[in-house]
Structure 1
Amino acid sequence: MGIVKIRKALISDLESILKIYEYYVTNTAITFDTKIPTIEEFNSRMEIVFKKYPYIVAELDGEIVGYAYTHPFVGREAYDWSAETTIYIKNNMKGNGIGKKLYETIENISKAQNILNLYACIGYPDVEDEYLTNNSVDFHKHMGYKWVGIFQKCGYKFDRWYNMVWMEKILGEHKPNISPVIPFPQFSPEILSELGLE
């Protein structure tokens, strides 16, 4: 495998990113989307993230092979120092360390933004099946996330009920008079380079 490059996502990457996501919508319960979003819907989702949070892609030989981003956790102001993570890797590229590289970059960016808590919302089966395994939970454990809660049988897909779990990673110390969160678009090219983004 060649060298994987991590960079900021662009709107021009939309179709490549959506293609990766389509596999998970159609073939898995990793996402609880049951229909593939339209280009317009997916564009709107990306635009919302771009306003404040990082949206990054992993590129190998000019091809996007994975992506990750953070977005608001709940959305009220007091939650500003928390963010929810999302990550998807091209199906035939899993197990190559791409997810780890994306998540390490997301964590570094989040720390630079003054975000203290990261959360992952993960589909979880009572019994592993062809649509959903424990791989995502195991990956997050490996990345230092802790299991903090479960919602029982809250997602219905492929004529089956699935659970959802929350996992949490604490990035820094919770002190009074915390500095405000810095929107990702305000980062200079020099800071982006220091954070490992090309």
Structure 2
Amino acid sequence: MFIRTAKVTDAQELVAIYRPYVQQNTTSFEYEVPSVAEFERRIKQTLIAYPYLVVEEDGRILGYAYAHPYGERAAYQWAAEVSVYVSQAAQKKGVGKALYLAIEELLKKQHVVTVTACVTGKNQNSIAFHQHMGYAIVANFQKIGFKDGQWLDTYWLQKRLSEDDKPQPFLPFSELSQ
């Protein structure tokens, strides 16, 4: 497996990985699968400030992860939300773990102190995965989203990457030396 920064040209493969998460279950709260053009826009926009990574094997993308701001206010600059999606064929092969370890290392270099993840309540596998990766459940929002004819809970999980009491200012991903 090889981890690298996502490129706009990866959008079609990433949409294919994401599609089942939208259409076949409640992992994503999106109702419609985004277009390739929308994914291209998301990749470009994310990479300005945060990492967007893919895992490749034999020229095929097996999964991807990205980070984005936890909140808009300046005081949140040391907190990021992370998301990971792994192709159905690559489940349980360490792809998600590899992506999370890589993205957490990059976020540390950006001076991010806390990472969060929002997981649908029905996705117990993801909750267990995050806990295995050192995340703790810190909140449960009950019946917060409506999809597939049902109200869904979300769980917020959190992990500290550093105990820095006086962190340096956030460093955008585009300013990191690759």
Global fold match (TM > 0.5): yes
What secondary structure is seen at the aligned counterpart in 2 of 1:51? helix
Residue 97 of structure 1 corresponds to 94
Residue identity matched to 2:115? L
Aligned length: 178
CA distance in 2, matches of 1:174, 1:140: 22
Q: 1:74 & 1:48 partners in 2: Cα distance?
A: 16
- Cα separation, 2, equivalents of 1:173 and 1:9: 29
Query: Which residue does the alignment assign to 1:158?
Result: 148
How far the C-alpha of 1:39 sits from its partner, in A, is 2.2
RMSD: 1.0
Please name the residue that 2:78 is paired with. 81
Q: How does 1:183-198 map to 2 (within 5 A)?
A: 183-189=172-178
Aligned partners of 1:151 and 1:174: how far apart in 2? 29
| CA deviation after TM superposition for structure 1 residue 150, in Å | 0.7
Question: What per-residue deviation string (whole Å, max 9, x for no partner) do you get for residues 138-185 of structure 1?
Answer: 000000000000110111111111101100000101313x21111111
Give the conservation status (yes or no) of the 8 Å contact 2:9–2:40: no
Gaps of 5+ in 1: 126-132, 190-198
**Could you tell me which amino acid in structure 1 is paired with residue 11 of structure 2?**
L
2: CA distance, partners of 1:174 / 1:35: 40
Which of 111, 117, 120 is residue 117 of structure 2 equivalent to? 120
2:10 counterpart residue number: 13
**Uncovered stretches (5+) of structure 2, i.e. residues with no partner:** none
Does the alignment pair 1:179 with 2:159?
A: no
Q: Does 1:70 align with 2:67?
A: yes
Structure 2 SS opposite 1:65: strand
1:43 deviates by 2.1
Give the equivalent residue in structure 2 for 1:143. 133
